[in-house]
A and B are shown apart, each in its own frame.
Chain A
Amino acid sequence: MSQDPPLVIVEDLKKHFPIRQGILGNRLGGAVRAVDGVSFEIQPAETLGLVGESGCGKTTLGRTLLGLYPATSGSICIAGTNVRQAKGSGLMALRRKAQMIFQDPFASLNPRWTVSAIVGEPLHVHRLGATEQARMERVRELLQLVGLSPTHLNRYPHEFSGGQRQRIGIARALASDPAFVVCDEPISALDVSIQAQVVNLLEDLQKRLGLTYLFIAHDLSMVRHICDRVAVMYLGIVVEMADRDELYEHPVHPYAQALLSAVPIPDPRKDRHRQRIILPGDVPSPANPPSGCRFHPRCPIAKSHCAEVVPIWRELLPGHWTACHEAVAPG
């Protein structure tokens, strides 16, 4: 990776949602610890993948990063701006630099707005472009950038297919010329044949515009394809992080191992001879995570101390991090 300072620095980030009880909702009954102490950095023009199963906190993490949810504690720094302290013009500047592409291309576009209004909105909000004409010119340019025709300008979202709508969402995210884009499951609502189109577009745009991505997904095959580094989340924390091929070829955390072994391979001969690690039970509630290592009740290699001592986040090999007492360096 490059020698530049990281574009995104996250330290011990926590996001807890209070649970309100009682008829008036005025009694606090603990908290859902959706993100519970996460640290990582993302280099400029890098793609960091964030994987994990539903409820592990990956979407909350993405939203907290951009300040869409106020963080409970910890620090977030994007392109030199402290996200938690940003206000007024500083916050506006941050919103321009850090954007988001959403999962559902049907729910994330206003059905009553035309494409030009949707893609042009960030230009209005951030007062980009001197005249209305200049802004329309920019909207045309953005549509072309994402592979749509300028003739689509005055159409409404319902006139487009899922893949085309996701392109509109991408054009909107790019309108303010951001450096950092959080892609929250951008392809999981699309069919296989359309997924590849959108993924290739995201890659092309990254190359052309030098974008930095946080790519949140549960499709582990696609993450291996598109990401430089990958972080695996379980119940609010990152349990393992490494370069793409290192993680997929030598996972060290038992959860990461089980997760990867569960992904079916589209090759029956290979799939038949695979050792699948089937985890017992379900993911516990993040309102009341297990003591010690949160994975210990389902872990195939748990020892007695795993139930008591919280494992530290350590660098097992250069660039290969994990939070597990029992993990040993591969090889």
Chain B
Amino acid sequence: MTHLLEVADLTTRFHTPEGTIYAVNGASFSVKQGETLAVVGESGCGKSVSMLSILGLISVPPGEIVAGRAVFDGRDLLRMKDEELEAIRGKEISMVFQDPMTSLNPVLSIGRQVTEAMRVHCGLSAEEAERRAVDLLDQVGISDATSRLGEYPHQFSGGMRQRVMIAMALSCDPRLIIADEPTTALDVTIQAQIVELVIRLREQRGMGVIWITHDLGVVAGLADRVSVMYAGFIVEETDVDSLYDDPRHPYTLALLAALPRIDRRRKDRLKPIRGSPPSLLVEPHGCPFAARCEFVIERCRHENPSLQLVSTGHRIACWVDTRGGRSP
């Protein structure tokens, strides 16, 4: 199957008074139709900036997309004019943001916000758009949708607002949904509802999904493929089963070891990752994880490894074979 979206060598920087922020440093990832790609990483690793770059949502300046391409449906999004991109954003590719409290307009009714994209992109009349909005809200599990169209965001709970966001994202039948930490602000029982909803909708509609998260638990239940990001680099990329069965990159290994487990009795203390992530104000030199890595060798400090295939569909960016036992 061909890729729905293929991003290669994406490099985004921000030029600020404090210096240049090296936010994304040559990230490559791709997603197929009907597939869910999870992009995992900690705060500041560049996962959100990558997505915003692709969709032309970075303000230039201070931002600058230095290099890369993002091919969607045979066309490079990074080379498109604003008008061309506008025709794709919200129609072919839509986005669900993290915070359902701030990403809805508080002074516009839910109905107005859900119908907006359909009227702009699909040329539906007000009545048609409204009919479809009721249908969409119903699909995402908001009961009594007809009467709720006239309500305002403050009358909805966090989980309900996130459903409204998903309904808006679905309104023009997109082929790709990019969800940026859509459940991070929600409680676990509501998160479970939303995850189930997205899985069901993806199966019904055959969309591609990119799900950005820091939660390795959510990834396990949702993703087909996973890209792990660290300091603006993709360091490991594989299918979801082998990420947990056979993690190879030292950062992935360390992340999994630092995680408490709800499904087993406590055996030992947690194994923290020493130190903290590198400053993005310094031009990357060598492997970004070298300073915190327990497998580090001299080469790591000077040369940045590129992603290399280690088994079918499994690539890592590391000079060391981490399966050869732990180094001292």
Contacts and interface: CB of A to CB of B under 8 A. Distances in A.
Interface of A: 53-54, 161, 163, 191-197, 199-200, 203, 218-222, 224-226, 244-245, 248, 258-272, 276, 278-279, 282
B273 A264 contact: no
B8 interface: no
Contact of A191 (B160, B195, B214, B269): B214
Given A219-B260, A262-B188, A282-B157, 10 more contacts: A163-B276, A192-B216, A197-B273, A224-B261, A245-B265, A248-B262, A268-B241, A269-B241, A271-B217, A271-B221
B215 A264 contact: yes
B255 interface: yes
Given A262-B188, A266-B217, A266-B261, A278 B276 contact: no
Given A196-B270, A196-B272, A271-B221, A266 B216 contact: yes
B191 interface: yes
B198 interface: no
Contacts of B265: 245
A175 to B, nearest CB: 24
What band does the interface of chain B fall in when counting residues whose beta carbon is under 8 Å from A? Answer: 35 or more
A287 to B, nearest CB: 14
B43 interface: yes
B196 interface: yes
27 contacts: A53-B190, A54-B158, A54-B187, A161-B276, A163-B276, A192-B42, A192-B214, A192-B255, A193-B42, A193-B273, A193-B276, A196-B273, A200-B269, A200-B272, A220-B262, A221-B260, A224-B261, A225-B260, A263-B217, A263-B262, A264-B215, A264-B218, A264-B220, A266-B217, A267-B220, A267-B244, A268-B244
A150 B47 CA distance: 36
Interface in B223-239: none
A224 B262 contact: yes
Contacts of A248: 262
Contacts of B42: 191-193
B193 interface: yes
B326 interface: no
B269 A224 contact: no
Contacts of A263: 188, 217, 262
Interface in B173-226: 187-193, 195-196, 214-221
A274 B254 CA distance: 26
With a 10 A CB-CB cut-off, give which of A53, A163, A191, A266 has the most chain B CB atoms. Answer: A266
Contacts, number: 127
B127 interface: no
A266 B188 contact: no
B272 A193 contact: yes
A49 to B, nearest CB: 12
A194 B276 contact: yes
A262 B276 contact: no
Given A221-B260, A268-B241, A259 B188 contact: yes
Contacts of A244: 266
B256 interface: yes
B214 A268 contact: no
A203 B260 CA distance: 14
Contact of B271 (A54, A196, A222): A196
Contacts of B43: 191
A193 B26 CA distance: 24
Nearest to A194: B276
Contacts of A54: 158, 187
A53 B188 contact: yes
A192 B217 contact: no
A54 B190 CA distance: 11
A160 B255 CA distance: 22
A326 B106 CA distance: 42
A266 B192 contact: no
A221 B262 contact: yes
A220 B263 contact: no
Nearest to B143: A281
A268 B240 contact: yes
Contact of A192 (B158, B191, B258, B276): B258
B111 interface: no
A192 B259 contact: yes
Contacts of A197: 272-273
With a 10 A CB-CB cut-off, give which of A163, A245, A279, A282 has the most chain B CB atoms. Answer: A282
A279 B189 contact: yes
B191 A262 contact: yes
Contact of A266 (B157, B220, B269): B220
A264 B187 CA distance: 12
Contacts of A163: 276
Nearest to B195: A264
Contact of B188 (A196, A200, A218): A218
Contact of A268 (B195, B221, B266): B221
B100 interface: no
A278 B196 contact: yes
Nearest to A201: B272
Nearest to A197: B272
Contacts of B195: 264
B68 interface: no
Contacts of A200: 269-270, 272
With a 10 A CB-CB cut-off, give which of B189, B191, B259 has the most chain A CB atoms. Answer: B189
A226 B262 CA distance: 11
B145 to A, nearest CB: 15
Contacts of A264: 191-192, 195, 215, 217-218, 220-221
Contact of A195 (B157, B217, B258, B261): B258
Contacts of A199: 260, 270
B142 to A, nearest CB: 11
Contact of B266 (A224, A259, A269): A224
Contacts of B190: 53, 282
Given A264-B220, A276-B192, A278-B192, A222 B255 contact: no
A76 to B, nearest CB: 27
